[in-house]
Amino acid sequence: MTWNAGKLTATPVVSHVAFARLRPFASSQKGDAAASFNGLSRALRDYAGLVRIHVRIVTGDAGEKVTHWDVEGGTSKATARRGRPKKADVHVVMRPETWTQIASGQLAPYEALLSGKLRVGGDLELAKRITKHLSDPSMPYIAPC
């Protein structure tokens, strides 16, 4: 309900917004994390500028185990390696099953973020531009804000 010229009127309810999923760069099968992160770096080769993403994959009931990945893009020598980067533009934290769904194009990153399955830190505007760059072109790109 909203106020309209002093009168309370009904506000139309907006149905669920479908956020664009990423172009798949990994298999939907659980398995080789290195292959999926290498797929991410290859998908970022033609990004407009140099970018470094620190991905943390959290496992265990209490999140007691963290695997770090350093993904670089925006260069013909784009790479992904296991380990913590010294410096990163964007930091992403999620569980392995969330990463598998995102990398295979089954889950939109914004849906994962808004549902609490994904956390993002660092340069958020850059993170949005990266997401747009990686989005499936067959779906309309809609940013959450």
Render pLDDT for 92-103 as a digit per residue (tens, 0 to 9): 999 999 999 999
Would you state the pLDDT for residue 10? Answer: 56
pLDDT of 32 strictly over 50: yes
pLDDT digits (tens, 9 = 90+) for 52-61: 999 999 998 8
Lowest mean pLDDT among 9-13, 16-20, 33-37, 40-44: 9-13
Can you give the three-state secondary structure of the chain, one letter per residue? Answer: CEEECCEEECCCCCCCCCCCCECCCCCCCCCCHHHHHHHHHHHCCCCCCCEEEEEEEEECCCCCEEEEEEEEECCCCCEEEECCCCCCCEEEEECHHHHHHHHCCCCCHHHHHHCCCEEEEECHHHHHHHHHHHECCCCCCCCCC
Would you state the pLDDT for residue 48? Answer: 92
pLDDT of 28 strictly over 70: no
For the chain, what percent of residues have pLDDT higher than 70? Answer: 85
- Give residue 64's pLDDT band: very low, low, confident or very high (50, 70, 90): confident
pLDDT of 75 strictly over 60: yes
Write down the mean pLDDT value for the chain: 86
Class of domain 22-131: alpha beta
